[in-house]
Amino acid sequence: MPPARPVPPKPEAVYFFATCLVDLFFPAAGLAGMELLRAAGITVIFPPGQTCCGQPAANSGFPAEARRVARQQFAAFPAALPIVVPSGSCAAMMHRHYPALFAGQPDQAEAEAFADRVYELTWFLFHVCGFDPESCPPDPPARVTWHGSCHAQREMEVDAEPQALLRALPAVELLPLKRPGECCGFGGTFCIRQPEISAAMVSDKVADIVGTGAAEVLSADCGCLLNITGALDKAGIAVRGRHIAEFLWERRRRSTAEKPS
């Protein structure tokens, strides 16, 4: 499939930007993402000074505060290395919105150069790392469905890549949603400011997921997963929700474990 942006050469090392939600709610997703990159022969650097991408402040109408947060990331990721992000939402903020956020600022050029180094994880795995699904074992069989986040699909133009990775996995059946482009209703502060609308949207999303017959829903955005899994749990529906990095690493790790020593 043609990539939405130029594919860089495979680097010896990358930075990993974990995101707030990975740090606080889905640490296994971040660890799995880093392991997948390491398995591709890439050194992963995790700067301890990283914090938020600044999207909550920017979306709430506080651009000066968002720039202050973003500048901390400039300092935390100083080398000219790719920055891999396990979230289409945070990646979009840094890649697509930093240039506009810093337009006319003294550090506009620094922001633009930083933005150009940001890549969403599944795009990077597919186009740069050459993740080999055929190396994964055919057991156990799994029936999954895929939820692509709004920011990943519309701003990072990442949707076919994660689904291609899943479809190529042996014994993994990818069951499509009827309305794959529909938002789950999270939207960051939207779900707090408009709880009734958000609840109706996630209810529709849960019904779509259940209708596929999948045992597990995968996504690459932890905000969506937080909303969807919360709704599934509240409804007592036994469908598991996980970040795609966890799923891919579980299959890859099983393959490595089963190789004779």
pLDDT at 139: 73
The mean predicted confidence, pLDDT, of the chain is 92
Rg of the chain taking only CA atoms, in angstroms: 18
Averaged pLDDT for residues 76-105: 97
- Lowest mean pLDDT segment, chosen from 24-28, 37-41, 142-146, 189-193: 189-193
* Residue 97 CB-density burial (10 A; 0-12 exposed, 13-18 middle, 19+ buried): buried
* Residue 4 CB-density burial (10 A; 0-12 exposed, 13-18 middle, 19+ buried): middle
Q: How many CB atoms lie within 10 A of CB 45?
A: 14
Residues paired with residue 240 on neighbouring β-strands, in sequence order: 216
Averaged pLDDT for residues 11-37: 96
Alpha-carbon distance 218 to 166, whole Å?
Answer: 10
CA atoms within 13 A on the CB side of 220: 34
Q: What distance, in Å, lies between the first and last C-alpha atoms of the chain?
A: 36
- Lowest mean pLDDT segment, chosen from 48-52, 229-233, 257-261: 257-261
Work out whether strand 142-147 and strand 216-219 pair parallel, antiparallel, or are unpaired: parallel
Which tokens is 260 given? 């004779």
Averaged pLDDT for residues 164-180: 94
Which tokens is 76 given? 């935390």
Q: Is the dihedral of CA 20, 17, 95, 167 positive or negative?
A: negative
